[in-house]
Structure 1
């Protein structure tokens, strides 16, 4: 599997910051930008307002679906693939955003990543990792309109077998799994094995330089993403160079998917 964007470097969503202008500023270095996250339904929007009240930065447009459409319009002609990370406790709003993403050739990303108490109580974020059936329902809803579908997940969630959950999401139709590895980077290799060859894996957390990029690519990741350093153009340039020059070396132990990718690329 290869990432559905080139170069295989993405900007990971940052609450209240990741908009079209943020993506445009980095387009010379990345192949994709995940805007958002955007709260879609009543419960997650209420949760986002509570988070703002305690000084979190969140997007709270009057009409979240129209906001996504407007943001993608602002990226028309940009040299990157647009994407949006969305939060919802229910499946229906994902269908509407999925249609917008389809029309823009964009990726819709189900947020099973957020650890904020308010968002989890609303049924989004980590709550979806702990309820794989609901996560899979959201994945199916997001993809019904024909949009490329991603799931953003996080390691080190107590009681969650992340590779197994990711495998279920892939079976439900996820085209990408976007893994925040936290301090458990080797889990990326387990996720790659669990989702199979038809689902791309994007690795996130601590991606800054050649060493961090090569670690994730050796584990079989198809792409990497940069979050907190997404406004540092020097870091993004370094990450892009590292991804584009990565090649299997006999002295490195790599996941079979990384080995296959290297063989397909040739010398």
Structure 2
């Protein structure tokens, strides 16, 4: 799907086109965002900003998605956009824009901030699989490649069953934040035919080999995604792994 099999993971308020270009020497994919799309998710994002978190809050979020992806149309990196919405309509709108740019639309079922979960965004979607599957199916209708950003260790959530449901709804990519349950990557790999990107603590050869050893198709780097030293180590370890005859 992309080479090298290293992705830059979205960082709210930071992961934009400039950030993606800066990492393009080391990664084959950049997930921009996350971006709040509808009134409820945008109000939640404003509340996050009020307590000093960084968030993208452009006047027109869909125009922002389009402009950021346009800025990467000629970049040597594949782009995706991580999106949040309390309603399904804007998911389709964002997916249409991503499809126009041959970009991935990534449904955020990952963020755990109380403000976002209270309006039905982020990891609250993991507890409402029907709604998450509806988001995925709606995005897939656009023709865009669809990713879902998931996290492990959410109480009451069977992540393997969730992965199966969203795959059936049209997901192409499962972006799994393993938290402290790295072995769950293997369970998701075994349960689906999706392209699996493993995330959390990817910093060096050891962590790369652990996740790829669990069967992940790629790894992603979050917080240190602006550190060339980390990215170079991760890229080199990933290339080495897939170049091995074993």
Structure 1 stretches of at least 4 aligned residues deviating more than 3 Å after TM superposition: none
Consecutive unaligned residues of structure 2, counting only runs of 5 or more, are none
Instruction: Identify the residue that residue 256 of structure 1 maps to in structure 2.
Output: none
Match of 1:166 among 124, 138, 163: 163
Name the counterpart of 2:61. 64
State the alpha-carbon separation in 2 of the partners of residues 163 and 9 from structure 1: 23
Work out the CA distance in 2 between the residues paired with 1:164 and 1:89.
22
1:139 pairs with one of 136, 153, 163: 136
Root-mean-square deviation (CA, aligned residues, Å) is 1.2
Q: Deviation per CA, 1:83-103, whole angstroms, max 9, x where unpaired?
A: 100001111101111111111
* 2:134 alignment partner, SS class: helix
With structure 1 as the length reference, what TM-score do the two structures score? Answer: 0.90
Among 26, 29, 32, the residue aligned to 1:32: 29
Alignment pair present for 1:217 and 2:212? yes
TM (norm. structure 2) is 0.98
Match of 2:200 among 197, 205, 211: 205
Using the alignment, how far apart are the partners of 1:83 and 1:120 within structure 2? Answer: 23
The answer to whether structure 1 residue 239 and structure 2 residue 231 are counterparts is: no
Write out aligned runs for 1:1-267 (5 A).
4-195=1-192, 197=193, 199-246=194-241, 266=245
- Structure 1, unpaired ranges of 5+: 248-261
Query: Deviation digits for residues 175-222 of structure 1, max 9, x if unmatched?
Result: 000000011000000011122x2x100000010111100100010100
Cα offset, 1:266, TM superposition: 4.7
SS of the equivalent of 1:246 reads helix
TM-fit CA distance, 1:50: 0.8
Q: Secondary structure at the match of 2:155?
A: coil
- Tell me the number of residue pairs that the alignment of Structure 1 and Structure 2 aligns: 246
Question: In 1, distance between residues paired with 2:57 and 2:213?
Answer: 39
Aligned-partner Cα distance in 1 for 2:173–2:46: 29
Question: What is the distance in 1 between the residues matched to 2:117 and 2:16?
Answer: 23
